[in-house]
Amino acid sequence: MPSPFDLVALLLVISAVLAYLNYRLFRLPLTVGLLIGAAAGAMALIALDTIVPGLGLKLEIRSLVGSIDFPATLLNGFLAFLLFAGALQVNSAAMFARKWTILALATLATVLSTGLIGASLFAVSRLLGLAISLSWCLVFGALISPTDPVSVLDVLKRVGIPRHLQATVAGESLFNDGIGVVLFTLMLSLATNHQLEEFGAGKVAIMFLLEAAGGGLLGLALGYVAFLLMRQVDDYNVELIFSLALASGAYSLAGVLGVSGPIAVVVAGVLIGNHAMDRAMSATTRQHLTTFWHLVEGLLNAMLFVIIGLEIAAIDLNIKNLVATLILIPIILVIRWLSVAASALPLNLRLPRRYASLLILTWGGLRGGLSVAMALSLPEGPSKDAILTITYGIVVFSIVVQGLTLEQFARYVLPRWTKG
């Protein structure tokens, strides 16, 4: 089995080769190009192995994929740094002005989406004879509901969408992941302990709020401590170390305390990216810190999407699972629209272009690596293969189809709702 260093080195080499080929030949968005390239390359090798069985390429690819603990890599590694890097870029004033809309999207929309998607999968599983229980359908609803815009915000900035919508997209994408992990953890606990009937809605809601609020308070406290330390130092190397310690330490401590690590990291990152950068850093430190975390975000996203591409090529396909995926893709898009409309539209009835914003939030609600990691972390059981295949299918459609067409979609929609 390759060492962790060998795996990282291999992923970086694959990422570099695919990034070069994408830049020279295809010019797709980097994450989309890496995902498609990794999946296509792995499937080509598997096809070659089928033609020439003695090569053993399929077993090698599956062995490589099996040696990567993707759930642990993302949920206990990449996620903390990706969320912190994203939070540093958020304008807290603009986000605070949209706080109620962001809160509604991150909480109410996620909960609504979880319930509606879970019910939809339950109906589809009965129709196709997949026999997935309601509790596991709700687990799937929780893991597929968090949105992961990836490069969506950059695309929307190029389109020239209003700043309030940029702040909404950024805020939802950050807090949505934290809320999604909390909800997934609760649903998985209920499903694996067979206690769905024993927990009332009130108790589940209290557990949900305590974990989410606890993570927010922890992030605020640790972020403020880091701010006080940075204010006493004028050395960008030391302050870079502070930021790394904050991102990793907040996530780890949250796990020990039983509160949400993603929410803690996001709150801490927003505080550092605004309060600390304005009041505790020199211009030189701000530049170095921003450049460093852009680099971290780019590298981790590159490796993340290469892993997803390789994982896709290594799964076993089942015709019923594929049919379920095709049925659920349009249903999930409709549910995304309904959950966004029900949670955010009542708060924005006087906002210009509110209907265009609703459509952009719907089509721009991409699913990504977080959903895949949570699906892979599920314990072995009769429902795991179906949930895993459906998750992969929805993530690939989301990143490739929605991701590649979002810019054209936004340019088409915005001029048609200049007022409403």
* Structural domains of the chain, ranges and CATH numbers in brackets: 4-66 (no CATH), 70-416 (1.20.1530.20)
CA dist., res. 223 & res. 20, Å (int):
38
Instruction: Report pLDDT for 12.
Output: 92
Q: Is the pLDDT of residue 413 over 60?
A: yes
Q: Which of 17, 14, 23, 32 is nearest to 396 (CA)?
A: 32
Q: Dihedral sign, CA of 130, 136, 142, 147?
A: negative
Q: Is the pLDDT of residue 11 over 80?
A: yes
Q: Using the structure block, give the residue that is written with the tokens 């557990």.
A: 207
Instruction: Report pLDDT for 412.
Output: 86
Q: Is the pLDDT of residue 243 over 70?
A: yes
Q: What is the arithmetic mean of pLDDT over 41-49?
A: 82
Ranges 53-57, 170-174, 329-333, 385-389, most confident: 329-333
Instruction: Report pLDDT for 54.
Output: 74
- Residues of the chain with pLDDT > 70, as a percent, come to 92
Q: Which of 176, 171, 266, 256 is nearest to 217 (CA)?
A: 266
Q: What is the arithmetic mean of pLDDT over 262-281?
A: 93
CA dist., res. 136 & res. 143, Å (int):
11
Where b means 16+ CB within 10 Å and e means fewer, 140-177 reads: bbbbbbbbbbbbbbebbeebebeebbbbbbbbbbbbbb
Enter the pTM of the model. 0.88
pLDDT category at 401 given cuts 50, 70, 90 is: very high
DSSP code, position 2: -
Ranges 36-50, 54-68, 138-152, 207-221, most confident: 207-221
Instruction: Report pLDDT for 416.
Output: 65
CA dist., res. 365 & res. 149, Å (int):
6
Q: Is the pLDDT of residue 251 over 80?
A: yes
Mean pLDDT of the chain: 87
3-state SS assignment for residue 41: helix
What percent of the chain is helix, strand and coil (3-state, nearest 5)?
80, 0, 20
Q: Is the pLDDT of residue 92 over 90?
A: no
Instruction: Report pLDDT for 291.
Output: 95
Q: What is the arithmetic mean of pLDDT over 83-93?
A: 88
pLDDT category at 285 given cuts 50, 70, 90 is: very high
- Residues of the chain with pLDDT > 90, as a percent, come to 45
Of 324 and 77, the one with more pLDDT: 324
Q: Is the pLDDT of residue 70 over 60?
A: yes
Ranges 20-24, 349-353, 361-365, most confident: 20-24
Q: Is the pLDDT of residue 420 over 60?
A: no
Instruction: Report pLDDT for 352.
Output: 61
pLDDT category at 394 given cuts 50, 70, 90 is: very high
pLDDT category at 127 given cuts 50, 70, 90 is: very high
Instruction: Report pLDDT for 350.
Output: 65
Do residues 384 and 378 touch, judged by C-beta distance below 8 A? yes
